[in-house]
Each structure stands twice: as structure tokens, then as C-alpha cells.
Amino acid sequence: KISHLIIWYSLQKRDLSDEDKNYLDSSLVECYKRYGITFKRIHGKISYARAIADNPGRMEELSAEFAHQARILHSLKADTSRMRSIKDIYREAISANRMHEPGLTDRALKLLDSMPEKRTCVHGDLHTGNIIMAGKESFFIDMGDFSYGDPLMDISMIRATCQLASAVPDFFKSIFHFDPGIAERHWNIFVREYFGPHTDIDRLNETIKPYVALRKLVMEAQAGIPITGEGLRDVYEVLGH
């Protein structure tokens, strides 16, 4: 079996200093003045999404552990001199979204600008399909939007995917493997474990509604597929028609 995959790719910055190389990783490799990183292949891996779908009796345990991993990530402070802001990533995606009238886009960008800047590490696409486990270890994957910002940007992705489970159940199940009822239960467990057992979930859902609305606009732009019907209700509630 292949235990390591060496992936070669061109980085935007080709003239890396020794400091850059040390910052990235000792496994940085060079070929014809292009740089790449060695990746270790993880055997026996399974995503939290698949694990929950295949083991509904372990949902309490798995959803709680998923929340624990999110808390660990959000406890880390970012080096903002080397990382992008999640707000910049959102701004690019929302500006590129041509699925709505310009006025809605303008209101979305104004709302985004009003949101707080934070130095917290965020995944950028946090959901049960993007954390995998192998044995007793868990790993974040698909880190293309790894950045810094308000952790509610990550939390809103989890809420948005749970809402879309009801709005587009077949599409949701094809990606996350479980049904709408399980998605909502996962959200409830996540909130309890991430925020604490006495969290008012209805109040939290209202608090993060603006974040969820922006997240859905980002999801549309990145996937190139419009969200329709019930899936857009909170977008219109927050931003208007």
C-alpha cells in the first residue's frame, strides 16, 4: 500500500526564503523550482458524516466529539500576517454571486463589513464531512478556506447544512449521508456540547441568522448552484428581497 503521497503543485510564491520554508514544514520538497508538500495517507479513515449515518446509536458520542474538535480549533489564535481573513473570502464569493439582484448583494456586503474582526483560527467550510477520524485520532480536511475570523462563521456553516437537509433532502443525503431528522438532532447536540448545556438554542438560532444568510450566499457562489425555496427564507428575512 502507498503510505505516503507526494503531491507536487505550484505555489503563488515561488522564491521562498529559509524562514518561509521553516514556517511551512520540514516536508517541503522542491522540483524544478516548484514547491510541494508531502502528505501522509491516512488509512482506515471515516468522516464524521459517514460515521453518524452508519452508526446512529453512537450519534451522541460522535456529535459531541465533533463539537469538541471545533472548540479546539477555535481556541487557536491566528498569525494574521500569514493568513487571510474569512471576511475577505466571503467578500470575494458574495461579490461573485450573480444569482440575486444587485441590491441584495450590496446589503450582504454591508452586513459583512459590520461583523467583528477576530484573530481566531476558523476552518472556513466546517461540517461533518470535513473532519475525519482514524482510530482515536481526528483530522481536519479540505482546508482551502482555512483563515481567521469570528468562529460564528464556522458555526453558521453547520447550521446552514442542517437547514438544507430539510430544504433539499436528496442533495443533502448524497453528500452527508444522513436524513433531515438526524441533521437537526446533530445540531442540537453540537450546540449543547460547544456552547454549554444551558444554551438557549432558539435564541442562538436567531443570533446566528445573519451569519447563516451570508454563508448560504457563499455556498451558492462556491458551488455554482442556486439555493431555492425554503433554503433561502432566512436570507430574505435578513437581507430583504
Confidence of residue 171 (pLDDT cuts 50, 70, 90): confident
Instruction: Count other Cβ atoms within 10 Å, centred on residue 18.
Output: 7
Instruction: Tell me which amino acid residue 97 is.
Output: N
pLDDT score of 25: 54
On the question of pLDDT at 181 being above 70, the answer is yes
Q: Residue 88 is placed in which grid cell?
A: 475577505
Phi, psi of 110 (to 5 degrees): -65, -40
Torsion angle defined by CA atoms of residues 226, 231, 233 and 237, in that order, rounded to the nearest 10 degrees: -70
On the question of pLDDT at 13 being above 80, the answer is no
Report the alpha-carbon distance of residue 143 to residue 94 in Å, rounded. 20
Instruction: Count other Cβ atoms within 10 Å, centred on residue 180.
Output: 17
pLDDT score of 50: 93
Least confident window among 97-101, 174-178, 223-227, 229-233:
174-178
Backbone torsion region of residue 150, taken as left when φ is above 0, otherwise alpha when ψ lies between -120 and 50, otherwise beta: beta
Which pTM does this prediction carry? 0.83
Total number of residues shown for the chain: 241
Report the alpha-carbon distance of residue 171 to residue 54 in Å, rounded. 18
Bridge partners of residue 5, in order along the sequence? 39
Q: Residue 207 is placed in which grid cell?
A: 443570533
On the question of pLDDT at 59 being above 80, the answer is yes
